[in-house]
Amino acid sequence: MRRRKRARRDEDDDDDEENGGPPGGRRPVRSLIVGGAEAAPGQFPYQAGLMVLGRGDQGGSVSVARCGAALLSDRWLITAAHCCRKGMSVRVFLGSYPTMQDAQQQFDSSVVLLHPKYTRDNPGHNDLALIRLPRPVRFNSRVRPVKLPSWKHRGDDFAGKVATLSGWGKTSDADTRPSKGTAVLHFARERILTSEQAESLLKRQIAPYFLCVRGLRGEVSCNGDSGGPLTVEAEDGRPMLVGVVSHRYGLQCERSRAHVCTRVTSFLPWIASVTRAAVDP
């Protein structure tokens, strides 16, 4: 049975903590791309994998959540705030292929900055976090930052554009294996919707800093994709980050349903002030 109005964030939680969902209910968070295609090596050099680490019963570190992220510079990444946990460190994987843990470069970081207006009581909103790495990334053909939108794009809703979403999330609702970072990186082509289209599909009001997308062939983000990048092609041909995967409505990764990303242009001033990342005029 499908339940239409419950929000699910597209993260993979290995614990049983109940986290507040976006408007529509409090549910544990889960999330892979249903209906997507396998990525080629180096196809998404800005794609990062995250493992959130907690303290195990024996005192060692254990994985409590897995998400995606996007590399912004040699020291900063962006992801979804709901992926992170207070007091927990984050392990970052870069240049990974085919699985998340088959990484060229790996970092442990405890510097995670949630957006100042993000709260667990309303986690679908302001759902962004920035991660600072302890040392610079070494750029190569498989590790390269994504382009941020320019200031002139702040008023652009990107509606009608075809975007690309990538991640290591589940590839079907029938996939019952625990998401342990063993899935091959997948991607999907998504159409960015107008607010009116999104509200019609989701039967709810859409916040101005939400960016809603729908797969061209019904693809949808699923357990493990949270925090991952949504990009469009910029004027110079490079991928440009316009969204960060946040949540979906429904308990299953329902094909043909729209899902919600956080709109990057709405948060450009915060991103630029924290990371000092270059933003074109």
- Do 215 and 120 lie in one domain? The reply is no
- Do 76 and 140 lie in one domain? The reply is yes
- Evaluate whether 119 touches 96 at the Cβ level (below 8 Å): no
127 is catalytic: yes
On whether residue 38 sits in a domain, the answer given is no
On whether residue 40 sits in a domain, the answer given is no
- Do 118 and 163 lie in one domain? The reply is no
- Do 130 and 50 lie in one domain? The reply is yes
Q: Residue type at 205?
A: Q
On whether residue 3 sits in a domain, the answer given is no
Measured CA distances, 87 to 80, 113, 213, 239 (Å): 16, 11, 33, 33
What are 220-246's pLDDT values in tens digits?
566 567 899 999 999 999 999 999 999
Tokens read off for 145: 């930052």
Number of domains in the chain: 2
Is the predicted pLDDT of residue 23 greater than 50, yes or no? no
247 is catalytic: no
Measured CA distances, 128 to 4, 69, 84, 238, 266 (Å): 25, 10, 10, 23, 11
Greatest mean pLDDT among 178-187, 253-262, 264-273 lies in 264-273
Cis peptide upstream of residue 98 (ω within 30 degrees of 0) = yes
Select which of 166, 221, 226, 246 is catalytic. Answer: 226
- Do 138 and 159 lie in one domain? The reply is no
Select which of 31, 82, 96, 179 is catalytic. Answer: 82
pLDDT-wise least confident of 35-39, 88-92, 109-113, 205-209: 35-39
Read off the pLDDT of each residue in 25-38 and give the average, rounded to a whole number.
48
- Do 166 and 252 lie in one domain? The reply is yes
Give dist(CA 16, CA 163) in Å, integer: 33
On whether residue 167 sits in a domain, the answer given is yes
- Do 184 and 232 lie in one domain? The reply is yes
Give the domain CATH number at 129.
Answer: 2.40.10.10
Read off the pLDDT of each residue in 191-197 and give the average, rounded to a whole number.
94
Q: What is the pTM of this model?
A: 0.83
Three-class SS state of 243: strand
On whether residue 140 sits in a domain, the answer given is yes
On whether residue 32 sits in a domain, the answer given is no
Is the predicted pLDDT of residue 210 greater than 80, yes or no? yes
57 is catalytic: no
Range of the domain at 59: 19-26+45-145+270-275
Select which of 10, 12, 13, 127 is catalytic. Answer: 127
